[in-house]
Amino acid sequence: MKQRIFKIIADLRFAIIILLLIASVSIIGTIIEQDQSIEIYKLNYPLVNPVFGFLSWDIILLCGFDHVYKTWWFIMLIVLFGLSLLTCTILQQVPILKVSRRCQFLRTPKQFQRLTSSSQVKKLKFSNLLARIKNTNYSLFQQKYIIYAYKGLSGRMAPIIVHFSMILILIGTIIGSLNGFKAQEIIPKTETFHIQNILNNGQITQIPKVAGRINDFWITYTKQTTVNQFYSDLSILNVDGNEITRKTIYVNSPAKYNGVIFYQTDWNLIGLRIKNSSPNFSQYPLINFGNSPNKIWLTWIPTTMNLDTGLVLFIDNLQGYCSIYTELGEFLGNLEVNEAINTNLSFTLIDILSSTGLQIKKDPGIPLIYSGFFFLMLSTLISYITYSQIWLIQQNDKIFIGGTTTRATFDFELEFLKLINI
């Protein structure tokens, strides 16, 4: 009974069925938005007019279509597919490799008729023919006048390596799904933060108690005043607030600490710090009226107690200055940091307060996934190695020679003709 079950699991048709199910579920996960709030699903998939006539938000939540790749049934499909690959490797691929290593002698001339290439040689000496085969890197096995030779045995290992690589990828996927997380934090410059705004996480994920500090944030611009790159000077802190490590991160150059990766993803301006005649600083919030990359920030500084007149400060970059307008739209000039302006309201621009957006991610399955893809590429290269076999029998003055190959049939036939030509 156990052998029958394992044979069913190792069957190619079973693996194809499971793979089609995984592909179908993955399509569902691509069409339906993943890890969104209930309100979004209620808005896009209402009960009154369900999508496709049946797909409403309650069915999505009931079946787990809002987090397809983390559901128990999707993980079970992956486990079944991995089990199918493993049993196929043990029950089929490994025995094939063992058979390929054995000496398989052909003892009668009739057996040569089943081979891809075969011939009868009369004018060539048996010893000369053996020397030619040896010079073409074949491994020879001899029983008196019966010869078996093969080469390219490593090519037979390609299917095993393919299965091994796919199993690694599947294990890495499961580990990342169960124990990974992704968070998004918006942190003002010079502020300390903890990982709090979790976007999605696995069933057994433990959010690390990691603290960080944004020491500085700045943007570089091209000659056309477009954003070239934005940087964050990030410090990782221990529980006592002491710095463990420090790195300046930017897009495509994240910081890593204990498997947690900090990506630079966004930025924003949150306020202006201004000093007027009073000894204290005043801070005015900035309101964003644009979308990336054409972001625009505005703030209002009143000049009277009833707040009906004042100045409008306009910023569209982080180059260290802002533009000043009256309430009627009259342009008064540009004001740089640490520069004072003298109008009906005199003040000095002390600082432009910025914040950086970090995506914080942990996926412990990534090393296994990368290793799996490495072995998959390696198996592709190994599969180009041709496994060829040659048999010889000498009877009186006749020599029967034949051979077969797994691929590159034309090249093998040319090699075979060179062996038997005088």
**Between these two residues, 402 and 329, which has the higher pLDDT value?**
402
- The residue-averaged pLDDT of 16-27 equals 91
pLDDT surpassing 70 at residue 132: yes
* Cβ neighbours of residue 305 closer than 8 Å, sequence gap 6 or more: none
- The residue-averaged pLDDT of 305-315 equals 82
pLDDT surpassing 70 at residue 158: yes
Kindly indicate the confidence band of residue 293, based on its pLDDT and cuts at 50, 70 and 90.
Answer: low
Segment 189-239, tens digit of pLDDT: 889 999 988 888 888 888 888 899 999 988 888 887 777 888 999 999 988
Strand runs (DSSP E) across 154-226, as ranges?
A: 181-188, 192-194, 198-201, 211-221
Q: For residue 252, count other CB atoms closer than 10 A to its CB.
A: 8
In the Cβ-directed half-sphere of 215, how many Cα atoms lie within 13 Å? 11
pLDDT surpassing 90 at residue 373: yes
Segment 94-116, tens digit of pLDDT: 888 887 777 788 888 888 888 88
Kindly indicate the confidence band of residue 1, based on its pLDDT and cuts at 50, 70 and 90.
Answer: low
Res 256: pLDDT? 92
| For helices 72-88 and 12-31, angle between their N-to-C axes, nearest 10 degrees | 150
pLDDT surpassing 80 at residue 389: yes
- The residue-averaged pLDDT of 281-285 equals 86
Res 290: pLDDT? 66
Segment 61-90, tens digit of pLDDT: 888 888 888 888 999 999 999 999 999 888
Res 292: pLDDT? 59
Res 165: pLDDT? 93
| For helices 126-135 and 409-420, angle between their N-to-C axes, nearest 10 degrees | 140
Res 274: pLDDT? 87
d(CA 114, CA 320): 83
- Contact at 8 Å (CB) between 173 and 70? no
Segment 32-57, tens digit of pLDDT: 888 888 888 888 888 888 887 788 88
Kindly indicate the confidence band of residue 20, based on its pLDDT and cuts at 50, 70 and 90.
Answer: very high
Q: How far is CA 234 from the centre of its chain?
A: 24
For residue 409, the one-letter residue type is: T
Dihedral sign computed on CA atoms, order 57, 59, 62, 65: negative
Q: Which domains does the chain have, with CATH numbers?
A: 2-74 (no CATH), 103-152+386-420 (3.30.310), 179-268+358-363 (no CATH), 269-354 (no CATH)
Res 362: pLDDT? 92
What is the pLDDT of the chain when averaged over all its residues?
Answer: 86
- pTM of the predicted structure, to 2 decimals: 0.72
Segment 251-277, tens digit of pLDDT: 889 999 988 999 998 888 888 888 876
Segment 312-344, tens digit of pLDDT: 888 887 788 888 888 888 888 888 888 888 776
Kindly indicate the confidence band of residue 352, based on its pLDDT and cuts at 50, 70 and 90.
Answer: confident
